[in-house]
C-alpha cells in the first residue's frame, strides 16, 4: 500500500514556466521519505499541489488509494502539511492557533494532544504569547504543530528545519522518528542532506521539474554511491597521458596532495581496491598515507543534479 | 460530495468573531463613535428642520441611516481585512489546506461579518436610547434589511479581499467603491431632495434600497415601498453570495 502514488504530475505556471514535468513517484506507507532537489527544482510546487494550494496542470495522485483530486476532503483529513513560508496570525497565541487549526480539520478539541504537541515542540512556555512575539524558530515549530493537530497519516514537511538551531532540529527529528515508528508516513524536503541520509529510508531527487531517481535510501547508496581511493604523496600530482592509460578504469584525478582513484567491483563482486592500489604504487611508488572514502548522499546528490563537478572531482573531503 | 465539516466552519466563524473582538477599539468603538460624530454635527448644522415630504425631523431621519452605514462599512471591513491579512501573513493557505467546502468557508466569513455589523450598530444605537424614540413600527423589516445589507457588504468584502494583492488595494476598493456607494445610498438625504439626474443614479444603487428599507422598519417612512424593494435586495444578496461561492471554489486569486 502506498501513502502517495503520483503519476505523470506536471505543472506549468501562468507565465509559462514549467515547474514539474511528468513526475511519477511512489511513497510507501510508513516510510520516511526524503524529497531532495536544488532550489527551484519543483519540490515546493509538488508539495503545494498535494496541499491544494497550487493546481496541477496534469497528472494523477492517490493518497492511501483515494483519488486526491476527486476526494479532496477525505484526503485532506489524513494529510498534514508544514509549509515552507512562515505563516502566522498576529492576533492569536500558539494555543489558540492550534485549537483553531484542529477545528478547521473537523476535530473536536483534544487538549491533551495539543498540550503534548506544544510540549514536544518546546512551545509550552510560549503558548500564551501573541504570535508576533514569537521568534522565527518558534513560528516554524508552531507550523509543525499545526500540521499535526489532526493526527494525520501522512505528514509533509517542506524545509521544516530552516532557521532552527542544531539542538532543536535534533529534537524535532526525534519526534518525527517517533511518529514514523507509530506508523505515520513522513515526506520531507530539506537542504541538510546528512540529516536526510540519517533519517530517511527512501529518497527521491528532482531537478528542473524532472525526477532523477527515486528508490530506497540503501539501494541508492549501494548502487549509485561510489568509493574513492585517496593516495597521499605529500606533493601535487599532475597526471601524464601515460598515467591516464595505466590507470584507465579508475577515473584517476590528480590533486594538490596526491591522486584519487575511483573504486568499482570486479566480476566476482570484489572491490577493485587491491588493483587500484597496486596500479598507483606501480606508477608513483608507495604513498605516505592512503584512505578509502565512500560518497555520501550529498556527493550523490551533487553528482546527479550536475551541480557538483568540483566536489565530485576530488572524491575526497578531508 | 463528502459530509459537511460543520466543526470546521464553526471554528472559522469563531476565529473571525474573535479576531474583531480582540481589537474592539478599532472594530467596534471607533465606528460607533464616528457615526455618533456625524449625528452630532448634522444635528447642529440642520437644527430642527424636517425632512421634506416626511413626517420626521432630520435628526431622527439620520439615526437609522447612520446605523445602516456603519453596518455596511463594517461588514465590508471585516471580510476584506481578514482576507488580505490572511494573504499577506500567509495564513490563508490553512483555509485552502483544510477540508472545508467553499460553502462552509463563505458562510463562516459572511456570518461573522453580520455579527460585526450588528454589534457595531447596536453599540451606536444603545448610546442613543435616551435621546431617540425607538418605537420601531416594523422591527422585522429592519432586521431583514440589516442582515441583507451585512451579507451583501460582507460578500463584497470577501471578493475585494480575494482580489486585492495588498492592503493598499483593499483601501482603494474601500475608498473608491464602498464609501461612495454607502454615502450615496440615502443615509443623509431623502431621494426626493435630489435633482432628477442624481435621483436616477441613486435608484441604480442597490444600497439605496437597503438603507431605505431599513429606515422604513425603524421609522415607518421611506422613499420606496419596502416590500417592492425587497425584490431588488434579495436578488442582489443572492448574486453576491453566489459570486463569493463560485470565486472561492475556483480558487480565484488564491491558487496558482
Judge if A79 and A143 occupy the same domain: yes
Judge if A192 and A269 occupy the same domain: no
Phi and psi, residue B200, nearest 5°: -65, -45
**For residue B82, pLDDT beyond 50:** yes
Question: A40-96 pLDDT, tens per residue?
Answer: 899 999 999 999 999 999 999 999 999 999 999 999 999 999 999 888 888 899 999
Task: Report yes or no on A118 lying in a domain.
Answer: yes
Query: Residue A79, Cβ neighbours under 10 Å: how many?
Result: 27
- Yes or no, beta carbons of B255 and A54 under 8 Å apart: yes
Task: Report yes or no on A305 lying in a domain.
Answer: no
Judge if A195 and A48 occupy the same domain: yes
Task: Report yes or no on A299 lying in a domain.
Answer: no
Task: Report yes or no on A312 lying in a domain.
Answer: no
**ipTM score for this prediction:** 0.90
- Yes or no, beta carbons of A106 and B19 under 8 Å apart: no
Judge if A162 and A100 occupy the same domain: yes
Question: A118-149 pLDDT, tens per residue?
Answer: 999 999 999 999 888 998 888 999 999 999 99
Chain B: residue whose CA lies nearest to A12: B256
Helix (H) or strand (E) holding B91, with range, is: none
Q: Are B10 and A103 in contact (CB under 8 A)?
A: yes
Phi and psi, residue A23, nearest 5°: -90, 125
The C-alpha atoms of residue B141 and residue B68 are separated, in whole angstroms, by 13
Judge if A73 and A144 occupy the same domain: yes
Judge if A97 and A150 occupy the same domain: yes
Judge if A127 and A164 occupy the same domain: yes
Question: What three-state secondary structure class fits A263?
Answer: strand
The pLDDT, as a whole number, for residue A168 is 86
Residue ranges of alpha helices (H) inside chain B are: 6-22, 24, 30-46, 58-89, 93-97, 102-128, 139-163, 167-173, 179-183, 196-204, 206-219, 226-250
Judge if A153 and A288 occupy the same domain: no
Judge if A73 and A6 occupy the same domain: yes
Judge if A164 and A277 occupy the same domain: no
Its domain, for residue A285, covers 226-294
Task: Report yes or no on A48 lying in a domain.
Answer: yes
Residue where one domain finishes, among candidates A169, A196, A216: A216
Task: Report yes or no on A307 lying in a domain.
Answer: no
Q: In A, what residues contact B, Cβ < 8 A?
A: 13-14, 48, 51-55, 71-74, 76-77, 81, 83, 85-92, 96, 99-108, 146
Chain A: residue whose CA lies nearest to B12: A104
DSSP A265: B
Judge if A28 and A158 occupy the same domain: yes
- Yes or no, beta carbons of A53 and B96 under 8 Å apart: yes
Which CATH number goes with the domain that contains A170?
Answer: 3.40.50.300
The C-alpha atoms of residue A43 and residue A188 are separated, in whole angstroms, by 10
A28: cell is: 510507501
Please state, in angstroms and as integers, the Cα–Cα distance from residue A48 to each residue in A54, A88, B97, B142, following that order. 5, 18, 9, 46
Question: B151-175 pLDDT, tens per residue?
Answer: 999 999 999 999 999 999 999 999 9
Determine the length of chain A: 318
Task: Report yes or no on A44 lying in a domain.
Answer: yes
Chain B residues within an 8 Å CB radius of A88: 89-91
Question: B164-213 pLDDT, tens per residue?
Answer: 999 999 999 999 999 999 998 889 888 888 899 989 988 899 999 999 99
- How many domains is chain A built from? 2
Determine the length of chain B: 256
Out of B65-79, B103-117, B134-148, which region has the weakest mean confidence (pLDDT)?
Answer: B134-148
Phi and psi, residue A253, nearest 5°: -140, 130
Amino acid at each position: 500500500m502506498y501513502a502517495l502514488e503520483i503519476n505523470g504530475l506536471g505543472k506549468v505556471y501562468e507565465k509559462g514556466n514549467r515547474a514539474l514535468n511528468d513526475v511519477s513517484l511512489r511513497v510507501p506507507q510508513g516510510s520516511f521519505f526524503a524529497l531532495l532537489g536544488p532550489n527551484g527544482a519543483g519540490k515546493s510546487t509538488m508539495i503545494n499541489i498535494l496541499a491544494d494550494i497550487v493546481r496541477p496542470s496534469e497528472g494523477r495522485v492517490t493518497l492511501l488509494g483515494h483519488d486526491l483530486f476527486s476526494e479532496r476532503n477525505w484526503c485532506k483529513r489524513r494529510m498534514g502539511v508544514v509549509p515552507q513560508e512562515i505563516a502566522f496570525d498576529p492576533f492569536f497565541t500558539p494555543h489558540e492557533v492550534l485549537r483553531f487549526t484542529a477545528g478547521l480539520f473537523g476535530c473536536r478539541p483534544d487538549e491533551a494532544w495539543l498540550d503534548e504537541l506544544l510540549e514536544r515542540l518546546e512551545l509550552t512556555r510560549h503558548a500564551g504569547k501573541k504570535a508576533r512575539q514569537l521568534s522565527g524558530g518558534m513560528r516554524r515549530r508552531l507550523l509543525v504543530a499545526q500540521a499535526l493537530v489532526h493526527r494525520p497519516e501522512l505528514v509533509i514537511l517542506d524545509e521544516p528545519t530552516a532557521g532552527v538551531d542544531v539542538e532543536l532540529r535534533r529534537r524535532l527529528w526525534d519526534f518525527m522518528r517517533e511518529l514514523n515508528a507509530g506508523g505515520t508516513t513522513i515526506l520531507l524536503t530539506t537542504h541538510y542532506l546528512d540529516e536526510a541520509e540519517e533519517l530517511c529510508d527512501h529518497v527521491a531527487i528532482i531537478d528542473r521539474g524532472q525526477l532523477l531517481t527515486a528508490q530506497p535510501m540503501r539501494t541508492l547508496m549501494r548502487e549509485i554511491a561510489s568509493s574513492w581511493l585517496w593516495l597521499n604523496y605529500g606533493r601535487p600530482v599532475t597526471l601524464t597521458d601515460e598515467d591516464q592509460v595505466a590507470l584507465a578504469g579508475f577515473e584517476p584525478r590528480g590533486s594538490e596532495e596526491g591522486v584519487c582513484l575511483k573504486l568499482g567491483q570486479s566480476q566476482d563482486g570484489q572491490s577493485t581496491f587491491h588493483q587500484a592500489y597496486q596500479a598507483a604504487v606501480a606508477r608513483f611508488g608507495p604513498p605516505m598515507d592512503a584512505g578509502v572514502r565512500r560518497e555520501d548522499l550529498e556527493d550523490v546528490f551533487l553528482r546527479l543534479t550536475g551541480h557538483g563537478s568540483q566536489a565530485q572531482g576530488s572524491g575526497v573531503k578531508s | 460530495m463528502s459530509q459537511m465539516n460543520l466543526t470546521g466552519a464553526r471554528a472559522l466563524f469563531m476565529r473571525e468573531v474573535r479576531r474583531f473582538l480582540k481589537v474592539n477599539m478599532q472594530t467596534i468603538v471607533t465606528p460607533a463613535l464616528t457615526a455618533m460624530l456625524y449625528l452630532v454635527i448634522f444635528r447642529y448644522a440642520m437644527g430642527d428642520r424636517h425632512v421634506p415630504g416626511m413626517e420626521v425631523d432630520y435628526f431622527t431621519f439620520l439615526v437609522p441611516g447612520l446605523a445602516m452605514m456603519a453596518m455596511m462599512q463594517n461588514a465590508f471591513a471585516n471580510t476584506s481585512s481578514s482576507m488580505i491579512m490572511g494573504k499577506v501573513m500567509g495564513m490563508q493557505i490553512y483555509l485552502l489546506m483544510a477540508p472545508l467546502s467553499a460553502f462552509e468557508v463563505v458562510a463562516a466569513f459572511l456570518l461573522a461579518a453580520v455579527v460585526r455589523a450588528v454589534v457595531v450598530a447596536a453599540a451606536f444605537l444603545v448610546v442613543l436610547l435616551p435621546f431617540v424614540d425607538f418605537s420601531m413600527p416594523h422591527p422585522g423589516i429592519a432586521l431583514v434589511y440589516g442582515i441583507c445589507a451585512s451579507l451583501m457588504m460582507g460578500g463584497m468584502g470577501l471578493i475585494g479581499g480575494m482580489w486585492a494583492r495588498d492592503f493598499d488595494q483593499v483601501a482603494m476598493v474601500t475608498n473608491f467603491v464602498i464609501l461612495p456607494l454607502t454615502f450615496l445610498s440615502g443615509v443623509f438625504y431623502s431621494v426626493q431632495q435630489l435633482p432628477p439626474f442624481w435621483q436616477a443614479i441613486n435608484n441604480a444603487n442597490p444600497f439605496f434600497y437597503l438603507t431605505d428599507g431599513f429606515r422604513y422598519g425603524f421609522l415607518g417612512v421611506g422613499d420606496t415601498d419596502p416590500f417592492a424593494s425587497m425584490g431588488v435586495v434579495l436578488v442582489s444578496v443572492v448574486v453576491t453570495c453566489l459570486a463569493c461561492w463560485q470565486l472561492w471554489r475556483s480558487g480565484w486569486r488564491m491558487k496558482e
